[in-house]
Structure 1
Amino acid sequence: MVERYAREEMKNLWTQESKYQAWLDVEIAAVKAWNKLGLIPHDDCEKIIKNAKFNIDRVEEIEKETKHDVIAFLTSVSESLGDESRWVHYGLTSSDCIDTANALIIRDSLKIIIKDVEMVMESVKKRAIEHKNTIMVGRSHGIHGEPITFGLVVAIWYEDLKMSLENLKTALEVVSVG
């Protein structure tokens, strides 16, 4: 992501802290699911939900030793817990954690993009209506053609945006359920 072109809202989703928070959210969701199935004691589940934390500096320090990002992360989280830490990452692989967390971040990114496209569409729609009678030179095969209205041109842009919005919504649905 090129910093100078990125909006704060989007940049914040793709920070190290956000990534590790998404990893922690996945780990906690797994703990809750195991607890619901009766495989993790309720007290341990509650302690993990309440106390599980990570420290970015500590994760980076551990990763220098382990050469494994998820092990470093899990070690940092375990340091914030007691014996209940044995249930963190229970039944999961590194890919389960990373892929699911990435899907959560992509989902949140798509929500921002969709909201922005809807805002642009609203503006484009207003311009199409505003210029419904504004005559301009039409184009056909790269040369001047019959006169058309600028409103029609802008309405076609609107339809293109509408199709793109539907594609984004489909992508959001797909990434949201794996």
Structure 2
Amino acid sequence: LAVTDALAEAGVVPAGDARACRERAAFTVDAVEERERTTNHDVAAFVDVVAASIGPEGRWLHYGLTSSDVLDTALAMQIRAAGELLVAGALGYRDALIERAFEFRDTPCVGRTHGIHAEPTSFGLRLAGFAFEADRNVGRLRRAFAACSIGKLSGAVGTYASLAPTIEAAVMERLGIGVEDASTQIVPRDRHAEVLAAISLAGAGLERFATEVRNLQRTEVREVEEPFGKGQKGSSAMPHKRNPITTERITGLARVLRGYAQAGFENVALWHERDISHSGAERVILPDAMIGLDYMQHLATRVVSGMTVHVERMAENLDLTHGAIYSQRALTALVDAGLGRDEAYRIVQENAQRAWDTRTPFRELLDAALGDTDLDVDLVAIFDPAAYLTHTATVFERLERLRA
């Protein structure tokens, strides 16, 4: 109908006929499906039903168009609308992370590398990292959806043989989407692959957060727990269970999104001016990926806002290695005091690992090891967890700018 209106403005279609098309056009799904049993072509069936509902003026419907002029342009409008929803959801997730990052900016907890206790950090700093990642995904989604909000009316092989580029430009302006620079029968599928890749990356970010929550909810760790509702059951057999099923669900769905992105890449290399091998895949992967990400973002935002953070447990876990996590500060202090690095490393490693193995405070062992030396070492300063947060204010200044 937008094309018919543009053709009327260009003097190709009588204005009264274009008005009749807009006023009378109607269809039912049942009627289209019935017609498709004969045509075996969805767009042709749709055009036949709508044209018949208009009457004689219906001859102008689909004038100069090929099916993909309609399908790809309509798809672009759907993608644009879906993108607005997904970006809004991504912003909500990001903002929830920002708020909780500030809430726990000075809450010390142990940092882990390779799954092993490394050095103290803050839980707020950890959440800040997720917030910045979420913001990057907001940008990716915006760019990808903008790049895919593109239509075309260039005809069967992209030559504008039936409609002039001016008609295409007028219609796309009316619809609020861009014009493909050089199309074939279709809009090139690298645009759609980019959307699916951005969706997959956003899903991977949600998965990274979900995996962190799952690991922190382990019974042995129990620093964080996802929301668990009153009356909720974790197991049909074990009444005590509180399983991280929401974050597990996010993790599983992220795998599906990656599969959809792969299918999107497979759709890029079509034959010549087009084949239709992409169509069957797109009818599954595009709506499913967008609905899936929307759902995952909703789940993740709910977890961020409602998760229980066990600050006392974080403090307890800081001492699981009996102070061994302060080994780098001890090493640096010994070097600052004048000891050679290799000798300092040997002393610190020997006593830090002994502390871990024997459950003896590393501070006591280090104090004893240095007892016969004249090294001036401040043990209180070495074993101060707050020292690790000295410069994290810089990160939170950046996060404040993001919040603003």
Give TM-score, length-normalised by structure 1: 0.81
Structure showing greater Rg = 2
Provide the C-alpha distance between the structure 1 equivalents of 2:23 and 2:95, rounded to a whole number of angstroms: 43
SS at match of 2:119: strand
Question: Could you say which residue in structure 2 is the equivalent of 1:146?
Answer: 119
What do the CA deviations read for 1:111-152 (whole angstroms, capped 9, x no partner)? 111111111111111001101011110122432111011111
> In the alignment, does 2:86 pair up with 1:113?
yes
Question: Could you say which residue in structure 2 is the equivalent of 1:54?
Answer: 27
SS at match of 1:80: helix
Question: Could you say which residue in structure 1 is the equivalent of 2:41?
Answer: 68
Give 1:120's aligned amino acid.
Y
> 2:110 touches 2:121 (CA, 8 Å); kept in 1?
yes
Question: Could you say which residue in structure 2 is the equivalent of 1:133?
Answer: 106
User: What percentage of residue pairs aligned between the two structures are identical?
Assistant: 39
How large is the RMSD of aligned CA atoms in angstroms? 1.2
**1:159 positional shift:** 0.8
SS at match of 1:38: coil
Question: Could you say which residue in structure 1 is the equivalent of 2:9?
Answer: 36
List gaps (5 residues or longer) in structure 2.
152-404
SS at match of 1:132: coil
SS at match of 1:96: helix
List gaps (5 residues or longer) in structure 1.
1-27
Give TM-score, length-normalised by structure 2: 0.36
**1:105 positional shift:** 1.2
Question: Could you say which residue in structure 2 is the equivalent of 1:88?
Answer: 61
Name the stretch that deviates more: 57-66 or 76-85: 76-85
Question: Could you say which residue in structure 1 is the equivalent of 2:134?
Answer: 161
Provide the C-alpha distance between the structure 2 equivalents of 1:42 and 1:172, rounded to a whole number of angstroms: 35
Name the stretch that deviates more: 114-123 or 56-65: 114-123
SS at match of 1:158: helix
> In the alignment, does 2:80 pair up with 1:101?
no
What do the CA deviations read for 1:25-64 (whole angstroms, capped 9, x no partner)? xxx1111221222211111111111111111100000001
> 2:73 touches 2:150 (CA, 8 Å); kept in 1?
no
